[in-house]
Amino acid sequence: MTYENLVPVIRKLAIEAGAKIMEIYNSDDFDVKVKSDDSPVTEADEAADALISAGLRAAFPDMMLVTEEQAASHKERGETFLIVDPLDGTKEFIHRRGDFTVNIALVEKGVPTRGVVYAPARQRMFFTLADGSAVEETGAFDPENIGETRAIRVADSDNSALMVVASKSHHDQATDDYINKYSVKDSKSAGSSLKFCLVATGEADLYPRVGRTMEWDTAAGHAVLAGAGGKVVRFDDHSPLKYGKEGYANPFFIAYAPAVELKEA
């Protein structure tokens, strides 16, 4: 596998999965089940997962694959692997709020290095090129051909007037307490991994997450943000957020533009 052949594959699979998700999203009704951890799962999650998993296994049969919807894939561990959240923001999907994404990433030696984040209902797509830089694609999102792209870059943040983005479905007092340590010009809420992408484009400076996430929730957004010059660190000690951890669970973290002067937890 090379970056040159990886990027078109993950982009194509994200677009195809997004089309399947939107088909179900726009239907009159869809099934919602509850998983063993009490989180919801829909037929869209399962259909997108089946499509992406089959595509990745066909293209890269020797690469370890971890996907949210296949519990058996969580038992294997390694430093280098593909990781998938076929529908991040299931609650946003269920409530038809639009802020859900398809996420596919490559992790190498514990670091997300390439990834794609596609928000089909918002018609926004972000991904890393073969060289690791991050772009946003606009246009028709043809699965076979990359359309017009623009390079994205984090903001040169003004610490006296920061823009903060936080979770739409998981906002709490602990998050507000941390945000209040900063001089904030404005804040916005967003669902799913779109929050990483808003920092990557300079639409926000800081995204603190004081709550539970899994590696498949964050890896693709992390890769895009890193490709745009941003950073993701642990909330407790500001060390880089690593991947391939036991159980694939993340600690609390902060995603940010490097010009932001981070506050202690």
Q: What is the model's pLDDT at position 170?
A: 65
Q: What is the model's pLDDT at position 92?
A: 84
Q: What is the model's pLDDT at position 45?
A: 87
Whether residue 184 has pLDDT greater than 70 = yes
Q: Are residues 177 and 71 in the same domain?
A: no
Q: Are residues 99 and 193 in the same domain?
A: no
Q: Are residues 171 and 236 in the same domain?
A: yes
List pLDDT tens digits, range 90-114: 788 888 888 899 999 999 999 999 9
Which CATH number belongs to the domain containing residue 93 in this structure?
3.30.540.10
Q: Are residues 81 and 212 in the same domain?
A: no
Share of the chain above pLDDT 70, in %: 94
Which CATH number belongs to the domain containing residue 231 in this structure?
3.40.190.80
List pLDDT tens digits, range 21-75: 999 898 877 776 666 565 666 788 899 999 999 999 999 999 999 998 877 777 7
Instruction: Give the structural domain span for 55.
Output: 3-151
Please check whether residue 60 lies inside any domain of the structure: yes
Q: What is the model's pLDDT at position 35?
A: 64
Please check whether residue 156 lies inside any domain of the structure: no
Q: What is the model's pLDDT at position 7?
A: 97
List pLDDT tens digits, range 229-239: 999 999 999 99
Q: Are residues 205 and 142 in the same domain?
A: no
Question: Per residue, what are the HEC states of the chain?
Answer: CCHHHHHHHHHHHHHHHHHHHHHHHCCCCCCEEECCCCCEEEHHHHHHHHHHHHHHHHHCCCCCEEECCCHHHHCCCCCCEEEEEEEECHHHHHCCCCCCEEEEEEEECCEEEEEEEEECCCCEEEEECCCCCEEEEECCCCCCCCCEEEECCCCCCCCCCEEEEEECCCCCHHHHHHHCCCCEEEEEEECCCHHHHHHHCCCCCEEEECCCEEHHHHHHHHHHHHHCCCEEEECCCCCECCCCCHHHEECCEEEECCCCCCCCC
Q: Are residues 144 and 210 in the same domain?
A: no
Mean pLDDT of the chain: 92
Whether residue 214 has pLDDT greater than 90 = yes
Q: Are residues 121 and 218 in the same domain?
A: no
Q: Count of domains in the chain?
A: 2
